[in-house]
Every structure is written in structure tokens, then in C-alpha cells.
Amino acid sequence: MAPPQAVVIVDPLSTGCSLALEAASRGYSVIALWDGDLPQEVMFHTPASAKSLHYHAVVHERATVEETAAAVLAAAGNLGLAACIAGAEPGVSLADALSQELGLRTNGISAARRNKWCQQESVRSAGLRAVRQACGSQWCDLRAFVEAEPMPIIVKPAEGAGSDGVRLCRSPKEAEAHVRLLAKRPHIFGLQNKEVLCQEFLRGREYVVDHVSRDGEHKTMMVWVYDKRPANGAEFVEHGMLPVNPGSAVASKVIHYARAVLDALGIRNGPSHGEVIMTQTGPCLVEMNCRTHGGDGAWLPLARALTGGYTQVDATMDAFLDEEAFQQLPEVPPNPLRASGLNVELVSFKEGLVKATPGYDRIRRMESFVSLEPACEVGSTLRPTVDILSQAGSVILMHEDPKVVRRDHDEIRRMEAEHSLFDVVEI
């Protein structure tokens, strides 16, 4: 019998909690390691599905990677260490450095895993399509690029996530204002924005390509297409996500491109969540997130049904802990997909104190309802949705008849438009 072992999850937030639950379900003890710069309030962002999660130990990053490794080894005690995996975007760099220091399966260290400017330049150096861009900590670093680039342009944090701080700017004056705003405000994880990116605006539909890799072998877990629309003054509010048939021509193109990006970035092990826009001249990277697909893992039941039994989360554990199981996974999801469904992100158009959640109750009674990850409860504050943190919840709809899914989806959108998802008192 193999001796007991532990898995380290760096910043177990969002779907990182699902990784921790999967490791625990396989008999591994789980050590939570928190990035030293992460504000304490962010550490409590735990999906409802992971409220019962118990850690063998909780460790906080030390001043050096050597000291952090020593602290993790001390916390593990007699347990061997089986893997060190990033649970969320802020933990990517630390997970890379620590896994290398501990001699575990690793991608090694690279600034291009976390910094989106470095990422695009690495992709460009590999001969792949990348965005025109400029990066800087203040407006004077970016002014020349902005004034020469056709409008509109994208302005966003260099190390953000979840569409936080991403703005479509239609004039140099608007771009300057947003650069100055980002330079003095924290990003989605509560950390100060160190640099701001200005990029060309890519026209086309935005696709998600989720992979899991082991020793440079990339296996596609799922291809999705975002439903992003303007709402509440924000240009790119996520309204949902639809699965894409892996046998389609567009899926083939974005999968091929995403795998080339993974190679360019040196991502040989673990999960990745690539966002790609299909332009008129072909696919172009928005960003490659070197961790699992986020969204609190609300999409997991749908992904498991679509593939017929596996998800990016359990495939990630296979890649790190069970080579035989990883080798048995298919290169791409089944064609056709095994189910019909979609992920609906709930969008709020009101602000106030929540008195009741009648919309949640109606959604749970829908014929195609599978799961709901609520973002509000009685007594909480509801805000207009402008990014992932202000979403009003996440719903999975699934049914053998696509018409039923579409009907229920349209009903949710009607409730949003009529402000009947929540009873609120204005504040």
C-alpha cells in the first residue's frame, strides 16, 4: 500500500476549491497555500459546493520560495507531496516556482504565465498571431501607441482576470482616463495593478479552449463560446457560455491554435483556460490562463454530461497523480457531444438590499434545471453586473430537447429584464 500523500493547492479559490475536493475524494490530504499578496477577504471566496472542504493544513507564503517550501514540508509532516497545483490566477507564479523548488511535476518559471503582455510577446515570437499592444505603469508609457492605433482599443490590467477592468475605449481621451483609473485601483483579487495593457480591438466571437497537459501532451477538455454583451455601462458582461461541437471547423482551428500557444508558453503540465477570438484572418489570443476554467466550477455538471463522464478538474488530477488514467482520456471531447445544455450567468440591472430571491425559486423549478450557484441571499447587497464578481449567480440548464433549454434560457432573460429575479430595497 502506498504511503499517504498530500496535494498542495495554491490559492484554492473558485474552481480551485473543486480541485481540492477532487484530491480529497481520491484519498489525498490537501494543503492550502495562500499567496502572500492576497487580501484576507478574498480567501473566503468559496463556492457553495465546497463549504464542507477541510484542509490538512493552511500555509501562507514566506519571503522566499525556499522558506515557503520549508513551511509546506513542515505542514505536510510525515506525508509525501504528490503535486503542487495553482487553484486560481494569483497563485500561478507561486505554484510554478514552488513545484520546481520541491522537485514536483512543473512547468518551471516564466513571466509569460501571469503577465499578459509577456504572454502575447512570447506567442508573437513563436510566429503565431498575437495582438498589437503596449504595456506600461503610467499614461506616458502608452500614449504613443494609443494615438497611433485605430480606435477603439482595449485597456485592461496586465495581470487581471474575469474581465475585471477591461474596457473598450473609443478615443485616446477615454483610454487615458481608464489607464489612470487602473493605475491607482486594485484589480479583482484586491492587489494593486502594477501595469496596464493597451491592445488592438479584436473583432469576432470569443471562444474558450480548456486543456489539461502532461509532459507536453495536450488534451482538449471542452470548447465553449462566450455570450458577452454590453450591460450596465460595461462592454463585455458575460451572460453565459455555450458548448461548441468539437468536430466543427471553428473548434478545429481554435484547438490547433491554442495548443500552439501552450507550446509557445512552455505549458507542459496541468490545466489551462485559453480565450481566443476568431477574427477574419484566423484565431488570435486574448489570454491564456494557466489554471482551470474559473466561474466557481459551476460549469462542471454540464461539462461532465457533455463529455459523457469527465471534466477538466478530474483530468487535472489524472495528469498529476494517475498517468494511466490520463492516457485513457480522449484527445478531444466526443463528437457529437453527449448532452444539450448551456451555462447561464445571471445579470442584475438593479442595486439594493435583497429582501427575497423569487427568481432563484422559479429557476429551480424549470424543466431543464440542473444546478444553481447563487451569488445573493436575503440580506446581502445586490449590485448591477459589470464583471464576474458582480454576477447574480450561475445556472446550468440541460435537457435532451434543445428547445426546452432555449425556452428556459429565454425565461431567465425575461426575469432579468423585468427585474423579477430579486425583491430589493434601494439603498
Q: Which of 146-150, 191-195, 371-375 has the lowest mean pLDDT?
A: 191-195
Instruction: Please give the pLDDT value at position 162.
Output: 62
Domain boundaries, the chain: 5-109, 132-200, 202-338, 340-426
Residues 230-242: what's their mean pLDDT? 94
Instruction: State the CB neighbour count (10 A cutoff) for residue 290.
Output: 27
Q: Distance from CA of residue 350 to its chain's centroid? A: 25
CATH architecture classification, 132-200: 2-Layer Sandwich (3.30)
Can you give the pLDDT at residue 187? Answer: 64
Helix (H), strand (E) counts: the chain: 12, 19
Q: How confident is the model at residue 190 (pLDDT cuts 50, 70, 90)?
A: low
- Do residues 236 and 166 make contact, with C-beta atoms less than 8 angstroms apart? yes
Please tell me the predicted confidence (pLDDT) of residue 340: 96
Average pLDDT in the chain: 94
Q: Is 349 helix (H, G, I), strand (E, B) or coil?
A: coil
pLDDT in the model for residue 48: 72
CB 270 within 8 A of CB 316: yes
Measuring CA to CA, which residue among 134, 391, 130 is closest to residue 276?
Answer: 130
Q: What is the pLDDT of residues 326-361, one digit of tens each?
A: 999 999 999 999 999 999 999 999 999 999 999 999
pLDDT, position 161: 63
How far is residue 154's CA from residue 167's CA, in Å, rounded to a whole number? Answer: 6
DSSP 386-397: -SGGG--EEEEE
Report the range of poorest mean pLDDT among 118-122, 157-161, 260-264. 157-161
**pLDDT value of residue 8:** 98
More confident residue, 141 or 185: 141
Look up the CATH architecture of domain 202-338.
2-Layer Sandwich (3.30)
Q: Which triple of cell numbers denotes residue 64?
A: 522566499
Retrieve residue 126's grid coordinates. Answer: 513563436
pLDDT in tens, 28-70: 999 999 999 887 777 877 777 777 889 999 999 999 999 999 9
| Contact between residue 96 and residue 89 where contact means Cβ atoms under 8 Å apart | no
Which DSSP category does 151 fall into? S
User: Which residues, at least 6 apart from 210, have a Cβ–Cβ distance to it below 8 Å?
Assistant: 220, 221, 222, 223, 224, 271, 272, 273, 274, 292, 293, 312
- Amino acid 2: pLDDT: 64
How much is the pTM? 0.93
The CA radius of gyration of the chain, in Å to the nearest whole number, is 21
**Nearest-angstrom CA–CA distance, 256 and 248:** 12
The reported pLDDT for the residue numbered 80 is 97
Q: Does domain 5-109 have CATH number 3.40.50.20?
A: yes
Q: Does domain 340-426 have CATH number 3.90.1170.30?
A: yes
Residue 420: the pLDDT is 97
Residue identified by cell 473583432 is 203
217: its cell numbers = 501532451
What is the average pLDDT across 186-209? 86
| CA–centroid distance for 379 within its chain | 28
211: left (phi over 0), alpha (psi -120 to 50) or beta: beta
**Residue 165 — pLDDT band, cuts 50, 70, 90?**
confident
Edge-first strand order for the sheet with 29-34 is 57-60, 29-34, 5-10, 80-86
Q: Which of 380, 314, 373, 266 is nearest to 46 (CA)?
A: 373
State in Å, rounded, how far the first CA of the chain is from the last one: 60
3 state SS of 84? strand
DSSP-derived secondary structure letter, 45: -
